[in-house]
Amino acid sequence: MKIQTTKIFSKIDNAIKKGYTIISEQGSSRSSKTYNTLIWLITYLLQHPGTRLSIVRKTLPALKATVFIDFKEILFKMGIFDDKCLNKTDFIYTFSNGSWVDFFSTDDEQKIRGRKRDILFCNEANELLFIEWQQLKMRTTRFAILDYNPSFSDDHWLCTLNKDSRTFHFVTTYKDNPFLEQTIIEEIESLQEKNKSLWQIYGLGLQAVVEGLIFKNIEIIDEFPSWAKKQSIGLDFGFTNDPTAGIKCGILDDSLFLDELFYRTQMLSSDIIRELRNHHLDVISDSADPRLIQEISNGGISIYPVEKFQGSIMAGITKMLEYKIKITKRSTNLIKEFRNYTFQQDKEGRWLNKPIDAYNHGIDASRYFVLGQLLGRIMITRQYSKEDLGL
C-alpha cells in the first residue's frame, strides 16, 4: 500500500542530507508532524541496516497511546508489521535487517542514562526537562528529531536549541496537512473565537503560553488511590469527531482524584458497556442521549444521568475548583485537557466567565461526577418512554 506524506517528510529528508544533527519540528495541532516523522524514520531504518532508534516521551502511557499506535499503523500499511518482532516486555521492535526501535519514557531514569543509539526522536519535546534532553542527546551518535506544540515561555530550553547552528527549526500548521477532514479544520479554526493563545499555539503553530486557564494547578500522580471515597465513573458521550470519555473519579479529604479509563471516538453502546463492566462502579453520565443511557442500563450498568440546569457548567467547575485536582499519569488526554481548558475571550480580548467548548470531554465527564456525587443533581432513575427515546 502506498503511504501519502506531507511536506514534513521532505523537510526532514533535506535537512538530514544537509548535515543538520537536530531537527526541531514546531507545529500546530494536526499538522501531521509526528506521523510523517515516523514514516521518514521507518524508511531510514529499512534503508540503513543495524540502525538503533529511540522514541521517547515524558510518560510511557502517553507514548503507547499515541506514537506507538501510529508506528504500528504505518508498518501495517507498509505490509511489514510482524508481531513476533515486538518484544512487549522491553518495548523494542526489531526489523529483519537488524535495525530496531526502543520505546521508553523519561520516567525511566535507567533508560535515559543507558545505552547509546544512532537516532533519537523526542515526541512532545516541550514536556521534557532540559537535563532529560541533554542526557538523551549526549548518547545519540547521528542525529535527533523533536516535535512539539509550542506551548511554553521564552525561557524554555527549546528556544535556545532552536537558535543553535546545528538545528534545523521549522514551523508547520494544520494547513500543511492536505488529508485533514473539514470537521477537524473547523474545530481548530474555532479557537480564533474562543481563546487567542490557544489559536496561536494550536492553530498557527506559534509559541505562546496558554492564558485564561480555569484549572491552574493540577498534580500528576502515579496511581488512583483504592481507598478514595464516592468512587464512580463520569461518562461523557461522543461518537464521530468527539470522543466518548470515561473517567474514574473519587474524593479523599480536599482532593479530587481522576483516572482516564477510556477516551475514544466511534464507540457503540456495546463498546461502552464492555469497558464499564471492567470496573464495577456506578456511572454518572451526560443526560443528552436517553436512548444510549437506556441501552447501557439494559447492559447491566448502574447509570445515573445528571440534571442539567441553567448555570450547571459553571456550578460544576466552581465545585471542582474547591478541590486539589490529582490526575493519574496514564490519563494523557485528560491531562492535555486540563492544560488547555480556558475561559473564553471576546473579540476585544476581554475574559468572559464562560469556559470554551473545547478540550473538555474528559473534564465534562469529571464534572458530571461532581454534579451527581457532590451536588446531588442526579435525575430520577426511571425507564425511558418511547417518546423520550424518539421512537
For the chain, what percent of residues have pLDDT higher than 90?
88
Dihedral of CA 151/153/154/157: which sign?
negative
**Overall average pLDDT of the 253-279 stretch:** 96
Angle of helix 361-369 relative to helix 312-320, nearest 10 degrees, comes to: 80
User: Does residue 382 register a pLDDT over 70?
Assistant: no
Give residue limits of the domains in the chain.
7-183, 218-374
* Cross-strand partners of 171: 26
Helix/strand/coil for 137: helix
Tell me the mean pLDDT in the region 314-329. 96
Question: Measured on CA atoms in the order 56, 185, 259, 254, is the torsion positive or negative?
Answer: positive
Mean pLDDT of the 176-186 span: 93
- With bands split at pLDDT 50, 70 and 90, how would you rate the model's confidence at 379? confident
Which CATH entry fits the domain spanning 7-183: 3.40.50.300, 3.30.930.10, 2.60.120.10, 3.40.50.10490? 3.40.50.300
Q: What is the maximum alpha-carbon separation in the chain? A: 69
pLDDT digits (tens, 9 = 90+) for 94-151: 999 999 999 999 988 888 888 899 999 999 999 999 999 999 999 999 999 999 999 9
Question: What CA–CA distance (Å, rounded) separates 165 from 278?
Answer: 52
**Distance separating alpha carbons of residues 351 and 344, to the nearest angstrom:** 6
Average pLDDT score over residue span 273-286: 95
Q: DSSP E strands: which ranges in 267-311?
A: 283-285, 303-305
Over residues 226-230, the mean pLDDT reads 96
What mean pLDDT comes out for the span 174-192? 94
CATH topology of domain 218-374: Nucleotidyltransferase; domain 5 (3.30.420)
Residue 299, pLDDT above cutoff 50: yes
pLDDT band at 3 (very low <50, low <70, confident <90, very high): confident
Q: Parallel, antiparallel, or unpaired: how do β-strands 229-236 and 283-285 relate? A: parallel
Exposed/middle/buried for residue 217 (C-beta within 10 Å: 0-12, 13-18, 19+): exposed
pLDDT tens-digit series, residues 58-88: 999 889 989 999 999 999 999 999 999 999 9
Mean pLDDT score of the chain, rounded to an integer?
93
